[in-house]
Structure 1
Amino acid sequence: MTVGAGVAAATAYALPANQPPERFYRGGEQIARLRGVGRAQPRTPEDWVGSATTLFGEASLGRTVLPGGTTLAAAIEADPVGWLGEQHVQAFGADPALLVKLLDAGQRLPVHAHPDVPFARQHLGLGHGKTEAWLFLEPADVALGFSRDIAADELARWVEHQDVDAMLGAMHTLRARAGDAVLVPAGTPHAIGEGALLVELQEPTDLSILMEWRDFAIDGATDGHLGLGFDTALAAVERHGMTASQVEALRSATAATTGELLPAAASFFRAERTRGSATWDAGYSVVVCTSGEATMTSETGRSLRIARGSTILTAHACGVWDVKAQPGFEAIRCRPPAS
């Protein structure tokens, strides 16, 4: 039977790594260790898990290919209700409205920001911006938000002259711990620190405005402004200063938190941490196992073993999942926005 007949949507998949090659920053070894697959290829710091999204400017790179050769995007388009559920389709159509990545910062990432929905709609004709959230598996310092108001001409001057010290000197430092969940609203300037390993949830786009590219393997002057020019692109950056307490408030969960990790982000995406056996309601989701192992059994009879480093894609048509865990099991279930 075909994908459109609902067969693919009535099951679930254990997904292999999906790591676009030759990214402009280093990383990948921590993802390889998490997945237990040996050494990483050079410059593969991102694993696009259950992705119906392409890299910016690419026709297909970044999209998940399911067993049998069908892309996830095509499978969802053929059976949106089976994959996403009727309520989601009524709200968002055949758009899963979610992108999940594993990210391994083998070096500090450059200072950058992502546009919000109104900017992306006006300037790029897109329905999503790129609000994101970080679920830390390994600790790291991150530069997050400006600590004072920054004038437009000052920001433009920093970017033109690549005055990285001035940029970083005007930003807060958040010391993220393993287990923390941090929400990053679109527009917020940020730079993830070296050593971070995280599960990243985001709106399903690859829209980044680079303010820093010195010492990175990218021509930021050409490729850092989404083809809009910096005069336009930098208008998407939030230049208002944040207080230290406002930055701290973006940390919505810690290692002690189970259940919902991102309560303020439900209009963009949802994430739940499970420890031990559980029952998961029906729904499209990307599951990342961070420790231990368990057996997942759906009400349609599909059974999957999930262990540390596993990434599982589930469709709404699978129904309710019964998760029988071994000691030490922990997983993060990433889901689309509430509909």
Structure 2
Amino acid sequence: MELSRMPFVLKRNRVAYLIKGGTLLKEFFRYEDPDNRYSQVWLASTVTSSLREGTEGLSVLREDYGGGYLKELLEREPEAFLGREHTEVYGASPAVLVKLLNSGTRLLVQTHPTKEKAKRYFGLPFGKTECWYVLAVEKNRPAYIYAGFRPGVTRECFCSYIEAQDTEKILNCLHCFAVVPGDVVYIPAGTPHALGAGSLVAEIQEPVDITLRAERIRPDGSVLPEESLHGGKGMDILLDCFDFTCMERERARERFFVKPQPLVSDGDARAVRLIGRGTTDRFSMNRISLSDGGGYNAENYHFVIAFIADGSGELLAGDQSLKLERGMEVFIPHGVRQYQYRTEQTLEVLECFPPG
């Protein structure tokens, strides 16, 4: 059968980044990484890492589905895999990128440009709005995130802290929130933010790898080049990409923490909208939970990036049957119009969708 008419599995796609990985990503996938080199796993990615030349970041099909890069497969037959309506707007790009993140230490304070500023300053077709779904946190260690400017922060004072590389003052400009499994955190483009250590999150975002930073001194004391702040574009462009809207703490919490919305609650099957059009039109993510022989029927309007977050089960599509295990990532093309999840025990799936 043609790949465009069947769900297929992608290989695990580990990516090294500026901050070393933590323990949760290794524990989740049960792989060895003695140097903690990998802090990210990218799912169904057609985007390369901005930190290195070459193909790092691009997802590859599992060998029993022919191998090869997902990007090249979609470029050969974009309409078959992504749908006509999608390709008329976005071409062969999925217009979405999904990652798993777990860093050993706090990430550097950063922001990402809006679509308009990404195009104006960097020649990119997408900005980078993103959302985090907290999958797990380390035991006996507080997990937290930073998001949004506190009242009183100005462009001028923030600029002075960046120039001085005063870590304490930079962090004190942002709200800090504890997070627990199940939290959904929305980070619109322009928002100053940082992911703390001690959590494993699933991130859904617009499909570019562009980050603008307020810090270049890493937690281990090593210093990144100045270009790591703004990609060589200068301080004015860096600051212009930050949204200097200041909020009281509770307003910031309401802005950045999203309340999941129930979709289906039918015996042993439950579906929840984690992020969707009520918050953003850039992407959406659902969580499907099954237990005790439960099943869940779904229709596919564009295509689906499915990640097995826990348990095991089966994905049925027509006469195709795919065994599911924790940690698998499955691409469900546009040509698969209907499908079903089933389990005899428990199964949790994150389904990620493009705009529209």
Task: Please report the TM-score for the alignment, with normalisation by the length of structure 1.
Answer: 0.91
- Is there any run of 5+ residues in structure 1 with no aligned partner, and where? 1-5
Q: Which runs of structure 2 are paired with 1:127-276 in the superposition (5 Å)?
A: 127-139=125-137, 140-216=143-219, 219-249=224-254, 250-253=256-259, 258-263=271-276, 264-276=278-290
Deviation of the 1:39 alpha carbon: 4.4
Identity %: 27
Task: Give the aligned partner of residue 45 of structure 1.
Answer: 39
Alpha-carbon distance between aligned partners in 1 of 2:169 and 2:151, rounded to the nearest angstrom: 12
- Aligned partner of 1:86 in structure 2 is 84
- In structure 1, how many angstroms separate the alpha carbons of the residues matched to 2:345 and 2:37? 34
Residue 85 of structure 1, CA deviation: 1.2
Separation in structure 1 between the aligned mates of residue 218 and residue 35 of structure 2, nearest angstrom: 21
Is residue 32 of structure 1 aligned with residue 26 of structure 2? yes
Report Cα offsets for 1:104-157 as digits up to 9, x if no partner: 121111111111101001111111010000010124211111112422221221
Counterpart amino acid of residue 321 in structure 1: Y
Number of residue-to-residue matches in the alignment? 331
Question: Does structure 1 retain, via aligned residues, the 8 Å contact 2:24–2:199?
Answer: no
Contact map agreement 1:296 1:304 (CA 8 A) in 2:
yes
Report the Cα offset of residue 218 of structure 1.
5.7
* Residue of structure 2 in register with 1:310 after alignment: 328
What SS does structure 1 have at the residue aligned with 2:127? coil
- SS where residue 81 of structure 1 aligns? helix
CA RMSD of aligned residues (A): 2.1
Which residue is equivalent to 2:304? 285
- Secondary structure of the 2:237 match is helix
2:14 aligned partner, one-letter code: Q
The residue number in structure 2 matching 1:12 is 7
**Aligned counterparts of 1:315 and 1:239: Cα–Cα separation in 2:** 40
Contact 1:180/1:255 (<8 A) preserved? no
Instruction: Give distance in 2, aligned partners of 1:86 and 1:94.
Output: 10
Indicate conservation of the 8 Å contact 1:261/1:271, yes or no. yes
1:62 corresponding residue in structure 2: 57
Structure with the bigger percentage of strand: 2
Please state how far the C-alpha of 1:64 moved relative to its aligned partner. 0.8
What amino acid does structure 2 have at the position aligned with 1:75?
L
> By how many angstroms is 1:255 displaced?
11
Deviation at 1:254, TM superposition (A): 5.6
* 2:314 pairs with 1:295: yes
Q: Is the CA contact 2:14–2:38 (under 8 Å) kept in the aligned structure 1?
A: yes
Deviation at 1:232, TM superposition (A): 1.3
Does the 8 A contact of 2:306 with 2:352 survive in 1? Answer: yes
Per-residue deviation, 1:251: 1.4
Question: 1:179, 1:256 within 8 Å by CA — same for their partners in 2?
Answer: no
TM normalised by structure 2 equals 0.87
For 1:331, the aligned partner's letter is V
Choose 273-282 or 127-136, whichever is displaced more.
273-282
Partner AA of 1:295 in structure 2: E
Greater displacement, 112-121 / 218-227: 218-227
1: CA distance between counterparts of 2:280 and 2:161? 35
